[in-house]
Amino acid sequence: MMNFDLTEEQKLLKESARNFLSRECPRDLVRTLEEGKEFPPELWRKMTDLGWTGLIIPGEYGGSGGSFLDLAILFEEIGYHICPGPLFTTVVLGALPVMAWGTPEQKEDILPKIAGGERIMTLAVDEPGAYRRASSITAKASTAGDGFVIDGTKLFVPDADRADLLLCAARTGADEEEITLFIVEKDAPGITITPLQTLAGDRQFEVVFNGVPVKKERILGEPDRAWPIIEDIHRKATVILCAEMIGGAQAVMDMSLEYARERTQFNRPIGSFQAIQHHFANMLADISGSRYLFLKAAWKISEGRDASMDAAMAKARVGEAYRRVTILGHQIFGGIGFTKEHDMYLYHERSMTGDLKFGGADLHRARVAEELGL
C-alpha cells in the first residue's frame, strides 16, 4: 500500500540536506557559479562525504543502498536551494543505468568510483532536431576490429566538460530502434566539446564524436537494443527532475510568504489582501497536487512497478505548475521581484528550463494518451 509518510531515516536525510545546503550553497554562490565559475571541489567532497553520490548505490559497491524514493527526497531539497553541480548527471544519468544494465565488470569498475566522488558521468543522447524518438538518433557506431568507432553530434549534454565518462547513444542498425549505448571516456581521441549558452546558466554542451574508438566491452546492455534503456533513463530522470522542480516551487512560496507577512501597504500586511491570499491558495494547490504525482511515480519505481503513466503525468503537471508558482511569486513581490538581482529570477529561470528538459508538457500529455490506448 502506498504511504507518503517519510520514514525516520528519510526525515533525517531531508533535514540534514536542507541544513547543509542552507549553509554551504547560499544563493550568492549559485549566482557566482552561473557566471561560469567552477563548482567548488570542496563542496563536491562534502556532498560525497555525506553519502549523496552513493545514496542509491548498493553497499557492495561502496554506496548505502538507498531507494529511488530516498533519491527523490534528496533532490527536492537540492531544488529548494537550486544547488548546481554534477550530482544529477552522475547519479541519475550515470549510476542508475549502470546499476540496472551494466555487466558485473562495468559495475565493479564504475560504481565504487561514483560512490566515492571520484568519477563524474553524463548522458549524450539528444541530437539536432531530436524529438525523443529512436528514429531521431543519427549518430552512428560502425564496427572496427574488435570494437566500434562513433561518429555524430550530440546536443544538450550536461556537464560534458567535467565528466569522466559519457554514456553515448549511437545507431548500430538500419531498423528504427537498433540503437546501442556505449560508455565512452571523455578524453578519448576524436571528441570535441563546445559549451552552449543557456537561459539558466546551467552547463550544457555540444559534443562531436569524430571516429571515436570504443571497445565492445563498453557497451551498456545488449547491442541494438538500447532504446528501452534510454526510455528507462528518461523516465527516472523525469521523476527526479520533478522532485527538484517542486523543491524550487516550495522555496518560491516560502520566500513569498515571508515577504507577504512583513511587507505592509495601507498599514496592513499585503498578505491580508484577498488577491494575495488567492495567489497563495493557487500556489499551494499547484505544489501539493504536483508533489503527490512525483511521489507516487517515485514510490512505484522504488517498488519495481511500472511508472510510465505516473512519470508522464508528473512531468506534464509539474513543469507548468513550477512556472505558474514563480509567476505568482513575481506578482507578490511586485516590481523588485522582476529584477534580475532578485532571487525570484533564479527560480523563474529554472522553472522555464525545467519545463522543457526531458520533454515539455505536450510530449508527456501525448504519452499519457498513449498509455490510455489512444
pLDDT of residue 266: 94
Paired with 204 in beta bridges are 158, 196
Identity of the residue numbered 104: P
Burial 194-204 (b: 16+ CB within 10 A, else e): eeeeeebbbbb
Alpha helices in 209-273 (DSSP H): 227-262
| Mean pLDDT lowest among 1-5, 86-90, 168-172, 222-226 | 1-5
What pLDDT digit, counting tens, does each position of 44-61 carry?
999 999 999 999 999 999
Question: Where in 103-164 does DSSP place strands (E)?
Answer: 121-124, 140-144, 147-158
The whole-model pTM stands at 0.95
| Closest among 54, 78, 74, 73 to 64, alpha carbons compared | 54
User: Would you state the cell numbers that stand for residue 72, as one nine-digit string?
Assistant: 527523490
Residue with cell 542552507: 22
What pLDDT digit, counting tens, does each position of 354-365 carry?
999 999 999 999
Confidence category of residue 1, pLDDT binned at 50, 70, 90: low
Distance CA 291, CA 296 (A): 8
User: Would you state the cell numbers that stand for residue 117, as one nine-digit string?
Assistant: 566522488
Residue with cell 501539493: 288
Q: What are the Cα distances from residue 64, in Å, to 58, 111, 112?
A: 6, 12, 11
For the segment 78-86, the average pLDDT, to the nearest whole number, is 95
Confidence category of residue 131, pLDDT binned at 50, 70, 90: low
What pLDDT digit, counting tens, does each position of 289-347 carry?
999 999 999 999 999 999 999 999 999 999 999 999 999 999 999 988 888 888 999 99
Residues 6 or more apart whose Cβ sits within 8 Å of residue 248? 79, 80, 82, 322, 347, 350, 351, 354
Q: Is the pLDDT of residue 189 over 90?
A: yes
